[in-house]
A and B are shown apart, each in its own frame.
Chain A
Amino acid sequence: MIEMQDVYMTYPNGVSALNGINVSIDQGEFVYLVGPSGAGKSTFTKIIFREEVPTKGKVVVNDKETSELKWKDVPYFRRNIGVVYQDFRLLPKMTVYENIAFALEVIEETPKNIRKRVMAVLDQVGLKNKARFIPDELSGGEQQRVAIARAIINHPGVLIADEPTGNLDPETSWEIMHILEEINAKGTTIIMATHSKEIVNTVKKRVIAIEDGVIVRDERRGEYGYEI
Chain B
Amino acid sequence: MKFRTLKRHFKEGIKNTLRNGWMTVASVGAVTTTLILVSVFLVVMLNINHIADGLENDVEIKVLIDFTAEQADKDNLEQEIRGLQGIDSIEYSTKEEELKKLMESMGEQGGDWALYEQDNPLNDAFIIKAENPHDTGSIAAEIEQMDHIYRVNYGQDYVDILFTFNQYVRNIGMVLIAALVFTAIFLISNTIKITILAREKEIGIMKLVGATNSFIRWPFFVEGMLLGVLGSLLPIIIVLTGYYFLTQNVEMLQRFSFVQLLPFYPFAFQIAGLIIGIGVVIGVWGSLMSVRKFLRV
Interface residues of A (CB under 8 A from B): 51, 72, 75-79, 83, 89-91, 102-103, 105-108, 110-111, 150, 154
Q: Which of B4, B201, B210 contacts A106 (CB 8 A)?
A: B210
Contact of B176 with A by CB under 8 A: no
A106 near B211 with CB under 8 A, answer: yes
Contact flags B202-213 to A (C-beta < 8 A → 1, else 0) = 101111111111
Contact A106 B297 (CB under 8 A): no
Q: How distant is B165 from chain A, measured CB to nearest CB, in Å?
A: 52
Contacts of A111 in B (CB 8 A): 4
B5 neighbours in A (Cβ, 8 Å) = 108
Q: Nearest chain B CB to A26's CB is how many angstroms away?
A: 24
User: B209 to A102, Cβ gap below 8 A?
Assistant: yes
Q: Do A103 and B209 have beta carbons less than 8 Å apart?
A: yes
Assembly CA distance A108 to B1 (angstroms): 9
Q: Are A91 and B211 CB-contacts (below 8 A) given A108-B2, A108-B5?
A: no
How distant is the Cα of A51 from the Cα of B296 in the complex, in angstroms?
Answer: 10
Question: How many of chain B's residues have a CB under 8 angstroms from any CB in A?
Answer: 18
* Chain A: CB-nearest residue to B297: A51
A89-B204 contact given A105-B8, A108-B2, A108-B5, CB 8 Å threshold: yes
Chain B neighbourhood of A83, CB < 8 A:
208
Taking A75-B212, A78-B210, A89-B208 as given, write out 20 further A-B residue pairs in contact, using a Cβ cutoff of 8 Å, ordered by the A residue number: A51-B297, A72-B213, A75-B210, A75-B211, A75-B215, A76-B212, A78-B208, A89-B205, A91-B201, A91-B205, A106-B206, A106-B209, A106-B210, A106-B211, A107-B209, A107-B210, A108-B2, A108-B4, A154-B209, A154-B210
Q: Give B178-213 interface residues, CB cut-off 8 Å to A.
A: 201-202, 204-213
A-B contacts, 19 of them at CB < 8 A, read A51-B297, A75-B207, A75-B211, A76-B212, A77-B210, A78-B207, A78-B210, A79-B209, A89-B201, A89-B205, A89-B208, A90-B205, A91-B201, A102-B209, A106-B206, A106-B210, A106-B215, A108-B4, A154-B209
